[in-house]
Structure 1
Amino acid sequence: MAAFGIREATSSDARLLTDMLVEAANWNRLAARPRVEVLADRGVLRYISGWKRPGDHGVVALDPEGIPIGACWYRLFPGNDPGYGFVSPGVPELTLGVNPMWRARGAGRELLQALVRDAAAAGHARLSLSVDRGNHAQGLYRSEGFVVVSSGDDSDTMVKALH
């Protein structure tokens, strides 16, 4: 397995996070939507709009040459305007995206583990996410301790206890 550099995401990483959000949304290449269509969806755009606002935190994976290849980040959403994986106010919802040519090589796992450590260090008790059924990332989330807490028509909301 390759080793990846991991660094904290900064406000200057908004474009990278946008790219990784599109990758996450287009996990199924057979049903991929054009970038402009993905970002026209307010429900999707909310995960990066205005990055980096108070409470936002993320990490970036770097290939051996230092080039960003993926990102994992979380945001807090209010109860009156929840995200897809919302479980309650104060529980950050995470997003994970990896460049397709780097998938299944460990970058996603390293990003997820780093973000979980950071969220626990920041005092968060849980992290949540939403994942489409059929997305291979669901296996990654399960193996890292996330459990399904609710299900929709084609996706599951998963939560990991951090303490």
Structure 2
Amino acid sequence: MTTLREAGTGDLDLLYDLLLEAFNWDGTARFTREEVIADEHTARYLGGWRRPDDFGLVAVDGAAPLGAVWARALPAGTPGYGYVADDVPELGMAVVRSARGRGVGSALLAGCVRQARDLGWRALSLSVEDGNTAARTLYERHGFVVVGRNGDSDTMLREL
């Protein structure tokens, strides 16, 4: 049975593993874990986790993590791939390959939208790479719409 719990400071290693999973979404090993941790741009998403405005959820089955979603507001001077505005947190999300297609991503995304709304944020943004149809479809089902383009990815926004 899948349950959601708040992502805390002790989840940093898990979140890095899942960020790697998100970057290598199609099974192609574009990055290693060490490269993700060392990269200046990707460090924006998790460096210093958990800052006061950071929030997120971890999906578990018993003690086994199935996936996570996390969000952080990034400033225009050091934006993420899905940057929209300083007051719009950008989310990262991944589900372990063995748990995909079981509603884990939908539960995480719905929970993150609730968290953001409860915390008083006005919107959420994200970036989805071309070809990642499953993720794009999930985001669209949860009300995200394309508002921009960054390289080979669309920036999507969900007003709250």
Q: What interval of TM-score do these two structures reach, taking the shorter chain for normalisation?
A: over 0.9
Please say if residues 81 and 150 of structure 2, whose CA atoms lie closer than 8 Å, have aligned partners that are also in contact.
no
Identical-pair percentage: 48
Determine the structure 2 residue equivalent to 1:18: 16
Determine the structure 2 residue equivalent to 1:81: 78
- Aligned with 1:79: secondary structure? coil
Please say if residues 22 and 39 of structure 1, whose CA atoms lie closer than 8 Å, have aligned partners that are also in contact.
no
Residues 1:71 and 2:61 aligned together: no
Structure-2 separation of matches of 1:22 and 1:30: 11
Residues 1:156 and 2:131 aligned together: no
Please say if residues 58 and 68 of structure 2, whose CA atoms lie closer than 8 Å, have aligned partners that are also in contact.
yes
Deviating 4+ runs (over 4 angstroms): none
For structure 1, the 5+ residue unaligned runs are: none
TM-score w.r.t. structure 2 length? 0.94
CA offsets per residue over residues 37-88 of structure 1, 9 Å max, x none?
233322122211110011000100011x232121101001111111111101
Q: How many residues align?
A: 159
Compute the RMSD of aligned alpha carbons. 1.2
Match of 2:3 among 2, 5, 14: 5
Structure-1 separation of matches of 2:13 and 2:31: 18
TM-aligned CA deviation for residue 31 of structure 1: 4.7
- Aligned with 1:142: secondary structure? helix
Q: For 1:1-163, what aligned pairs fall within 5 Å after superposition?
A: 3-63=1-61, 65-135=62-132, 136-162=134-160
